[in-house]
Amino acid sequence: MDVVTNYFIELKKAVEFVEGMNGHKLLPNEMLNLDETGFDLSNCSKTMRVIITTTKFKRQPKAAHQGNVHVHALFFSVSKNSRSAIFFLLISGSADRTHFSAAIWIDGSGHRYPTHFCKHGEFSVLLMPGTECITTPRGYYTDEAFESYIDFLLDSTKDGIPDDGVWRILVVDGYGSHTMVPSVLQKLRNRNIVCLSMPSHTLHALQPFDVSCFRPSKYFWSWSLRYITGIGKICDITMYQAPYYFEVALLNGCTLRTIQNGFRTTGLYPFNPNWAEDNKDKFALAETLDIDKN
């Protein structure tokens, strides 16, 4: 809990600094948050899950294959007809899939800036107007890819962060590319953006994306896959179309209301310097584990 308290002490200092430089109280569009999330088409099936049924429990787990992935039974649950459904845990092999990442930037007013995608593989993709996509070896954001994203977001001609001289605060997690790339930090500093990192293992309570935005967005993404390719039998979604449909999911899940709720719940905007004291229960388990360890 001490790290959370210290985080809000540092955040308060940043707020006071930005308010002093801007000459006014912190505005909602001056408190920013960014994060990345991954998605792919590996679960694009009519059932959306891998299930096997068996008539009795066995000591040795059953094995199955999905594509070229080897999976083994992990949990058992008994159904109404006394047959047991076995849920699987991926333990070996490689999936027949292409991974995508989406980098998203939001502010306290509920505004979401243009999405930046990252993909694995040399193929063209269908993009929503205003978005952009680059290629990396594994479809994840490397330091170089993240810097490309920052260049994209700081380009005001692409509806990115305005180059208006206003000071802003950017809150990020502790991922290396966010906090340890000097050229990225310098570019943010040159645009009057103060970067502050959240403590480890606190994102479930402090990150607006994790609190209110990603869950509904991932729900709409999964629902789109299931309806379009399964229930609705409209068409098959290909890798070419994946970023387009994920942007549609973001439009439905990462809305003005969910973004504002995320900033309010995490104490970012309106800024709540007493958030740590008011939300001790969110870290009660961590406190208990620390006591037991000592």
What is the pLDDT at residue 70?
Answer: 39
Q: Which residues contact 162 (CB under 8 A, 6 or more apart)?
A: 156
Q: State the CB neighbour count (10 A cutoff) for residue 293.
A: 6
Res 35 pLDDT > 70: yes
Nearest partner of 65 among 95, 99, 98, judged by Cα: 95
∠ Cα 241 245 251 (to 5°)? 150
Instruction: Encode pLDDT of 218-249 as tens digits.
Output: 999 988 887 776 655 556 778 889 999 999 99
Confidence of residue 151 (pLDDT cuts 50, 70, 90): very high
* pLDDT per residue as tens digits for the range 79-119: 444 444 434 333 334 444 558 999 999 999 999 999 999 99
What are the start-end ranges of the E strands in 79-232? Answer: 84-93, 100-107, 116-119, 132-135, 168-172, 193-197
Per-residue pLDDT of 115-141, as tens digits, reads 999 998 888 999 999 999 999 988 999
State how far the alpha carbon of 84 is from the alpha carbons of 61, 64, 71, 102, in Å: 13, 15, 17, 38
**How many helices (H) and strands (E) would you count in the chain?**
11, 10
Q: Do 287 and 281 meet the contact criterion of CB atoms below 8 Å apart?
A: no
Query: 97: buried, middle or exposed (CB in 10 Å: 19+, 13-18, 0-12)?
Result: middle
Q: Is residue 179 helix, strand or coil? A: helix
Domains and CATH numbers, the chain: 2-41+97-293 (3.30.420.10), 51-93 (no CATH)
Checking if the pLDDT of 25 tops 70, the result is: yes
Burial letters 188-211, b for 16+ CB under 10 A, else e: beebbbbbebbeeebbebbbbbbb
Instruction: Please provide the size of the chain in residues.
Output: 294
* pLDDT on residue 224: 81
Terminal C-alpha separation, the chain: 15
- Round to whole Å and give the CA distance between 254 and 147: 23
Which pLDDT value is given to residue 171? 97
Residue pointed to by tokens 């309570």: 205
For tokens 């037991």, name the residue: 292
3-state DSSP assignment of residue 63: strand
Closest by Cα among 294, 115, 281 to 204: 281
Residue 284 identity: A
Angle (deg, nearest 10), helices 242-253 and 214-226 = 130
Model confidence at 161, in pLDDT bands (50, 70, 90)? very high
